[in-house]
């Protein structure tokens, strides 16, 4: 039984396989010929694996940069990292996490089938992270066993449908009407970035329309501009860290050479991500028509944040830099306030900052991208610091969840329990259930919440 549960947990935590299954179901529903079903199923899987390979390559080359910054500038504190905190949590909450994950997927499909929240959350590893967070905060709130799993699964399934819906009007601006949604638990910060962008900028001043003189036209090439930007980061960090520290990280390679090669490898990782995204979108969206027409009417796939990078590649670079600056300033402010230092996690600031930049650009152009992503950097500094106390024994680890939604949900549940006990947690779940049910009895412009037009 344990091996079966372990298989289910591993299977459900693989977003590539989830995308493949959804594509297969959709193509079968459309009665496509066998060879089309095979290629249409495999391409989203292979595309997501390509995206994952690019992301792994990015992370592998960001980690030494983080080390150089910490040692070069003598910074110590907590580094938010989802993978790190989850790996620690699995030693004590493995069964609860796995059970919440499985139940949450079922609840998400039921919500999509029977309510106007038609969003199917396909980013399996983020569902896994959220299941882990829920198991930790609910256990801290005194829930155990089947009750903990039932409440956690209900929370996971419902928020997996609600969070993509909240900012879908912004997502449609980002994609220019492509029918996909944000399936990433940093989403609330992206929507805030888009809202800020609309207040401070003009979408006509799009980052992708930046006028570049002929002699600088090579900067329009995303791979080149990313490589050059990161070279500055790496060389400055390497000089600050010194040859000894860099030598340990590089295995004795020359300090400057290591910095330059790492920056270029990072740029290659970004390019691999873009290629994988194009493969995913090319086959997943047509296959989803089958699900949307035959199984779950009007279904909308909610996909990983990196899928949106190809819509505004220049905003990706602007967003990362602005978010990292926000993270550094946030760390300084927390230090002055006497809190636990939250060291800017470069992985979180790259993926979340880049996405915040894309959303800010969609509503506010260049200024929206920069200011929106900067605010994202502040948010993912302060929220992880506030989350630490509600994680129970996990809060004593030298890491925490990095993305914004994890912090918001964890803090909300933790504070409701602190002030109102179990009743507060159950009341929140009751409110979320009403949120997905009540629109069924109301007339709305569309059968899908917030998905009716890019004019929203």
- Domain boundaries in the chain? 2-441
Beta bridge partners of 301: 120
- The CA distance from 161 to 155, in Å, is 10
Residue 57 token pair: 């390559």
Q: What mean pLDDT is reported for the chain?
A: 85
Instruction: Return the exposure string of 119-150: e unless at least 16 CB atoms fall within 10 Å of the residue's CB, then b.
Output: bbbbbbbbbbbbbbbbbbbbbbbebeeeebbb
Q: Quick one: pLDDT at residue 179? A: 83
Strand order in the sheet with 300-303: 119-121, 300-303, 181-182
Q: Which pLDDT tens digit goes with each residue over 250-303?
A: 888 888 999 999 989 888 887 887 788 778 767 777 777 677 677 888 889 999
Are the C-beta atoms of residues 342 and 80 closer than 8 Å to each other? yes
Mean pLDDT of 371-377: 96
Which DSSP symbol is given to 399? E
Strand, coil or helix: 188: helix
User: What's the pLDDT at 455?
Assistant: 41
Query: How confident is residue 319, by pLDDT bands cut at 50, 70 and 90?
Result: very high
Across residues 124-147, what is the average pLDDT? 87
Of 187, 129, 166, the closest CA to residue 356 belongs to 187
Read off the pLDDT of each residue in 421-437 and give the average, rounded to a whole number: 95
The total of other beta-carbon atoms located within 10 Å of residue 58's CB is 24
* CA atoms of 456 and 274, how far apart (whole Å): 28
Q: Has residue 381 got a pLDDT over 80?
A: yes
What integer pLDDT is reported at residue 3 of this predicted model? 74
Residue (of 306, 313, 317, 297) closest to 279 by Cα position: 306
Give me the mean pLDDT over the 36-54 stretch.
86
Q: What is the mean pLDDT of residues 396-418?
A: 85
Is residue 397's pLDDT more than 60? no
8 A C-beta contact, residue 108 and residue 157: yes
Whole-model pTM: value is 0.82
3-class SS of residue 178: coil
DSSP per residue, 137-162? HHHHTT--HHHHHHHHHHHHHHHHHH
The answer to whether the beta carbons of residues 343 and 329 sit under 8 Å apart is: no
Q: Tokens 């803090």 — which residue?
A: 411
CB of 63 within 8 A of CB of 348?
A: no
Lowest mean pLDDT among 272-286, 303-317, 338-352, 430-444: 272-286
């Amino acid at each position: 039984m344990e091996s079966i549960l372990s298989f289910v947990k591993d299977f459900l935590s693989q977003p590539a396989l989830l995308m493949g299954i959804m594509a297969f179901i959709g193509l079968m529903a459309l009665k496509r010929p066998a060879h089309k079903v095979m290629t249409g199923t495999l391409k989203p899987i292979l595309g997501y694996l390509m995206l994952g390979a690019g992301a792994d390559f990015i992370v592998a080359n960001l980690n030494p940069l983080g080390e150089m910054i910490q040692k070069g500038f003598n910074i110590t504190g907590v580094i938010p990292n989802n993978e790190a905190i989850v790996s620690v949590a699995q030693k004590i909450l493995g069964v609860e996490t796995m059970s919440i994950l499985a139940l949450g997927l079922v609840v998400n499909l039921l919500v999509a089938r029977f309510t106007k929240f038609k969003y199917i959350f396909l980013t399996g590893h983020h569902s896994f992270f959220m299941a882990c967070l829920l198991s930790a905060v609910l256990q801290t709130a005194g829930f155990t066993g089947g009750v903990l799993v039932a409440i956690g699964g209900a929370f996971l399934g419902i928020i997996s449908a609600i969070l993509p819906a909240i900012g879908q009007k912004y997502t449609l601006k980002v994609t220019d009407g492509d029918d996909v949604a944000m399936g990433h638990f940093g989403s609330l910060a992206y929507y805030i970035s888009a809202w800020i962008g609309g207040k401070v900028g003009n979408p006509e001043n799009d980052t992708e329309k930046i006028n570049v003189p002929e002699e600088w036209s090579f900067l329009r090439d995303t791979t080149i501009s990313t490589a050059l930007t990161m070279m500055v980061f790496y060389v400055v960090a390497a000089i600050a860290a010194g040859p000894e520290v860099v030598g340990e990280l590089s295995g004795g390679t020359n300090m400057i050479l290591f910095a330059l090669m790492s920056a270029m490898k990072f740029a290659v990782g970004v390019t691999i991500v873009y290629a994988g995204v194009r493969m995913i979108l090319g086959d997943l969206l047509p296959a989803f028509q089958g699900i949307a027409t035959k199984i779950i009417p009007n279904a909308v796939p909610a996909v990983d944040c990196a899928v949106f990078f190809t819509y505004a590649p220049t905003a990706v670079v602007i967003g990362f830099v602005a978010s990292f600056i926000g993270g550094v300033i946030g760390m300084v402010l927390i230090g002055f306030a006497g809190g636990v230092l939250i060291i800017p996690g470069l992985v979180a600031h790259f993926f979340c900052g880049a996405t915040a930049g894309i959303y800010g650009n969609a509503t506010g152009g260049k200024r929206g991208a920069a200011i929106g992503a900067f605010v994202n950097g502040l948010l993912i500094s302060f929220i992880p610091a506030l989350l630490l106390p509600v994680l129970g024994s996990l809060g004593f680890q030298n890491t925490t969840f990095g993305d914004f939604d994890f912090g918001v949900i964890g803090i909300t549940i933790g504070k409701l329990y602190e002030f109102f006990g179990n009743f507060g947690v159950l009341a929140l779940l009751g409110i979320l259930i009403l949120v997905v049910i009540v629109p069924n009895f109301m007339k709305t412009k569309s059968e899908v919440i917030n998905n009716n037009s890019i004019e929203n």
